[in-house]
Chains A and B, each alone.
Chain A
Amino acid sequence: MADIEAPEGVIHDIGFRHYDGVRLGRGWIVRSLLVETFRGVFGLGRPAKAKIMPWILIGILFAPPLVFALIAVLLGLDALPLSYTAFPQALSLIVSLFVASRAPYCVSRDLRHGVMPLYLSRPMRRNDYVFAKFAGLALSVFAILAAAETLLFVGALLAKLAVGAQITGYLQGLVVSVLYALVLTSIGLVIAAFTPRRGLGVVAIITVLAVVAGIASVASQLLIYHGSATLGNYVGALDPYGLVDGIAVLWFGVDSAFGRDMALGATGGIAFTAAAIGIVAGGIGLLMRRYKKVGVV
């Protein structure tokens, strides 16, 4: 900006300037809010304190791909020690922590500090806000998973593994990352939107994800051990990680990250996919309902 200064060094008050240029519509507003959410998740444009948590988790998430690549190079393996589709599940604790710490950041802040009336008094609709926040968080979760998958892929290429198989695996990994991003965002945002206190939201999300995962895993193993393999595999999908893993197994024919032998066929593929769609649609629906009343008297 070219500030014109008088010789005395006084900045002249040029008065209030009116704006009669273009006013962009809802599309631009949603995009801007999405970008702001995405940047906020990674602490960009925030004090240093807000950057610590996400970047530590990202650092932890990026370490295994580097180690795996190193192992593959040193030992001369002909495949990665961990498949692309199994990778997010292997680091589920870190991924869950990321979602649990970032989802409340996306929504609780505006609810807690009463920012919603400011959004509502602008040329956008309530659901635009919900959509932008959802997409912003989902994109961030996808971004960290996809980045980790890419590191795996680059490592595999450096280790001179068969390129064709690696490309297939990488693409499958990206699809799985999309599914994880959507499912985990749905669960995380709904819980966060109902717990306006940020700390509480973090605890609630991590508890739900960990407890569900634990229960599903134990119940599934017991059922499989006692001969009800089919039921056991379905129960295992109560855990979001089990669900997405099941979809990967049934669609792509990859090995289960849980080491489950899933022979559920097309029915299982459809059931698991429907469940994932249900979680995402249900999550968005609940969010829309949650925001229906916000900011109105």
Chain B
Amino acid sequence: MPAIATQGLTRTFGPVTALSQLTVEMPAGVVGLVGANGAGKSTLIKILLGLLPPTSGTATILGMNCLTDGLRIREIVGYMPESECLPPDVSATEFIVHMARMSGLPTNIARERTADTLRHVGLYEERYRPIGGYSTGMRQRVKLAQALVHDPQLVLLDEPTNGLDPAGRDDMLGLIRRVSTDFGISVVVTSHLLGELERIADHVVSIESGVLQHSTSTAAATEFSGSVLVEVTERGAEVVERLRALGAQVATGAQPNAFAVEVPDEGVLDDVRGVVVDLDVGLVRMQRGRHHLSEMFLTTGEAVHG
């Protein structure tokens, strides 16, 4: 059973169409939802939480109908909004305990799980200080903690890396990966940065102007391509010339000593070795090329070899 499934999901706001005939299935694990600002990601999340009725179509999350089971869904789903959502005048502990109770946990369990969850997201002594004095990275952790504290089966994370510096971004991405692998909680994470999602997502869904563009598992999208990356120590141009003379398809990049060779059959690999030996240059690497998620978004004309 997919974690999330939508069927012809459409939502309009007056003349604006936020989602148009969206039919997509998202498996358990980490699902990346990618799209530009205003692509309909937030609208989709609000429909999934049962907060916004779709104009037409259906959506189910963990097998529950988003139109009718809102309360039950919100009991076992966590949500981390993109926007600033923390009151400045309470401590993280105080706030997360309150939010855990708002999810229906009894007070003593709310306290226990708050301490646990804040530790898991990496907030320690500072959790007793008012949130107003926190850095952006710490705020993002508190936001994540409130989505996890009630032990949901799935969390919807809206742009969790927004506003973070590169180190904070890496930490957050690692944390999200752990939520899925170590905590066993399914994750739907939105981002407009494909590179981020490629690192952590098992499955990527892209929407644009409310229309589904792609839905593919990351493994399939980044599988081995039919080319091999070759890097030599020197005289790269000569090597390329010789290979082309032997009939090989070679694509050169910005670096003179690195290039990609199409591999229609194993013989090409022997050619590469032969040329390198002939010219007496060092062979740094021969690596099977992988596709990148970003290729999904390029038209065939601009496609480049990875």
Residues of chain A having any CB pair with chain B under 8 Å: 1, 15-19, 21-26, 28-29, 32-33, 36, 45-47, 50, 109-110, 113-115, 117-125, 295-297
Digit string of B121-161 for contact with A (CB within 8 Å is 1, else 0)?
Answer: 00000000010000000000000001000110000000000
User: Is the pair B151, A122 in contact by a Cβ cutoff of 8 Å?
Assistant: no
Report the bound CA distance from A33 to B101 in whole Å: 8
User: Is the pair A121, B74 in contact by a Cβ cutoff of 8 Å?
Assistant: yes
User: Is the pair A47, B89 in contact by a Cβ cutoff of 8 Å?
Assistant: yes
Given contacts A297-B42, A297-B43, whether A16 and B85 have CB atoms under 8 Å apart is no
Interface size class of B (residues with CB under 8 A): 35 or more
How would you classify the secondary structure of chain A's contact residues: helix, strand, loop or mixed? loop
Given contacts A16-B120, A26-B71, whether A119 and B102 have CB atoms under 8 Å apart is yes
Report the bound CA distance from A45 to B75 in whole Å: 26
Report the bound CA distance from A33 to B102 in whole Å: 7
Chain A residues contacting B13 (CB-CB under 8 Å) are: 297
Q: From A25, A117, A122, A296, name the one whose CB has the most chain B CB atoms within 10 angstroms.
A: A122
User: Is the pair B83, A121 in contact by a Cβ cutoff of 8 Å?
Assistant: no
Instruction: Specify the chain A residue showing the minimal Cβ separation from B45.
Output: A121
User: Is the pair B105, A19 in contact by a Cβ cutoff of 8 Å?
Assistant: yes
Contact of B113 among A19, A24, A47, A109 (CB under 8 A): A19
User: Is the pair B104, A25 in contact by a Cβ cutoff of 8 Å?
Assistant: yes
The contact sample of 5 A-B pairs, CB cut-off 8 A, is A45-B90, A109-B89, A123-B71, A123-B72, A295-B51
How would you classify the secondary structure of chain B's contact residues: helix, strand, loop or mixed? mixed
User: Is the pair A113, B51 in contact by a Cβ cutoff of 8 Å?
Assistant: no
User: Is the pair A28, B104 in contact by a Cβ cutoff of 8 Å?
Assistant: yes
User: Is the pair B83, A114 in contact by a Cβ cutoff of 8 Å?
Assistant: yes
| The 4 nearest A-B residue pairs measured at CB | A121-B79, A16-B183, A19-B151, A23-B104
Nearest Cβ in chain A — how far from B229, in angstroms?
Answer: 39
B288 within 8 A of A: no
Chain A residues contacting B107 (CB-CB under 8 Å) are: 32
User: Is the pair A113, B85 in contact by a Cβ cutoff of 8 Å?
Assistant: yes
Chain A residues contacting B105 (CB-CB under 8 Å) are: 19, 23-24
Nearest Cβ in chain B — how far from A44, in angstroms?
Answer: 10
Instruction: Specify the chain B residue showing the minimal Cβ separation from A14.
Output: B116
B106 within 8 A of A: yes
Contact of A123 among B18, B86, B104, B116 (CB under 8 A): B104
Report the bound CA distance from A24 to B116 in whole Å: 20
Report the bound CA distance from A215 to B96 in whole Å: 46
Given contacts A23-B104, A24-B106, whether A297 and B85 have CB atoms under 8 Å apart is no
Q: From B13, B43, B116, name the one whose CB has the most chain A CB atoms within 10 angstroms.
A: B116
B165 within 8 A of A: no
Q: From B42, B84, B101, B150, name the one whose CB has the most chain A CB atoms within 10 angstroms.
A: B101
Contact of B99 among A16, A109, A118 (CB under 8 A): A118
Report the bound CA distance from A90 to B81 in whole Å: 47
9 new A-B contacts, CB < 8 A, other than A16-B116, A23-B105, are: A15-B182, A17-B113, A32-B101, A45-B90, A117-B85, A118-B81, A123-B74, A297-B13, A297-B18
User: Is the pair A22, B106 in contact by a Cβ cutoff of 8 Å?
Assistant: yes
Contact of B79 among A17, A28, A117 (CB under 8 A): A117
Given contacts A15-B182, A297-B43, whether A115 and B51 have CB atoms under 8 Å apart is no
Report the bound CA distance from A255 to B36 in whole Å: 68
Report the bound CA distance from A144 to B94 in whole Å: 25
Contact of A113 among B43, B84, B104, B150 (CB under 8 A): B84
